[in-house]
Amino acid sequence: MRTDILGVGFDPITLPDAVSAGAALARDSGFHYVVTPNPEIVQLADRDELFRSILYHADLVLADGIGIIHAAKLLGTPLPGRVTGIDFAAGLMQEMARSGDLKLFLLGAKPGVAELAAERLKATYQGLKIVGTHDGYFKEDEPVVEQIAQSGADVLFVCLGAPKQEKWIAAHAKDCGVHLAVGLGGVLDVFAGVVDRAPVVFQKAGMEWFYRLLKQPSRIGRMAKLPAFLGRALSVKMKRKHS
């Protein structure tokens, strides 16, 4: 059963279990997808019915962000912990490198970034099979879908930012012939070394968002959604208390 956080259901799952479940989905014959909502995405979904429905129908909904964990606690339905998209992706690639039976395609980010990420990832995860890359600034979907289908990939990382990547997955990923698509935001920038991830001390303190803000002050507008998100959680809690 999923844990509802302000209209988005999250799977109460730990990182190792999410990685195992993801690998099983990638080996399954059907088509599956995973989403990694943060508070900003929950806020977007509140105003976008199509987006909400895409999140609802995902095979796995992972809690990407300390804000989700705080809200879950506040609402009296705590989740086992944060499962960030980047940690999930890393765990999955480790398993793919170990087993050698799954092929990966990287889609998204500015031209050149996915290629650079692929080179670095192949060096980090020895044995990882990356069978193709494409940047995220294309006009026509069909040639991209065709390229992915031709590559024979089983797993597709879609890194176009939210809600674009989830909508792209829902509309096109099945036609790419992959078994698992994952919406992962800006992770290719991190894997390529274009943007660095917050040091572990920030991650452990639940302050990764603050580090990103320091590095990219232009994110302030987007981050302003966080207080609104927590405010909504608080107001639901208060209403429940008084009813």
The single-letter code of the amino acid at 187 is V
User: Binding residue for ligand UDP (CB under 6 A) from 13, 66, 162, 182?
Assistant: 162
Question: Shortest approach of ligand UDP to residue 30 CB, angstroms?
Answer: 26
Smallest CA-to-CA distance from 41 within 159, 156, 137, 161 is with 161
Position 159 contacts ligand UDP (CB under 6 A): yes
Strand 60-61: give its sheet, edge to edge: 60-61, 32-35, 180-183, 155-159, 103-108, 129-134
Position 213 contacts ligand UDP (CB under 6 A): no
Question: Shortest approach of ligand UDP to residue 130 CB, angstroms?
Answer: 17
Question: Shortest approach of ligand UDP to residue 160 CB, angstroms?
Answer: 4
Position 233 contacts ligand UDP (CB under 6 A): no
Indicate the DSSP class of residue 73. Answer: H
Q: Which is nearer to ligand UDP, 44 or 102 (CB)?
A: 44
Q: Which is nearer to ligand UDP, 20 or 48 (CB)?
A: 48
Q: 134 - beta bridge partners?
A: 107
Alpha helices in the chain (DSSP H): 15-27, 39-46, 49-56, 66-74, 85-99, 113-124, 141-151, 164-172, 187-192, 200-204, 208-215, 220-223, 225-241
Question: Shortest approach of ligand UDP to residue 27 CB, angstroms?
Answer: 27
User: Binding residue for ligand UDP (CB under 6 A) from 22, 39, 132, 186?
Assistant: 186
**Which run of H or E residues covers position 107?**
strand 103-108
**Under the rule (CB under 6 A), what is the footprint of ligand UDP?**
108-110, 136-137, 159-162, 164, 185-186, 188-189
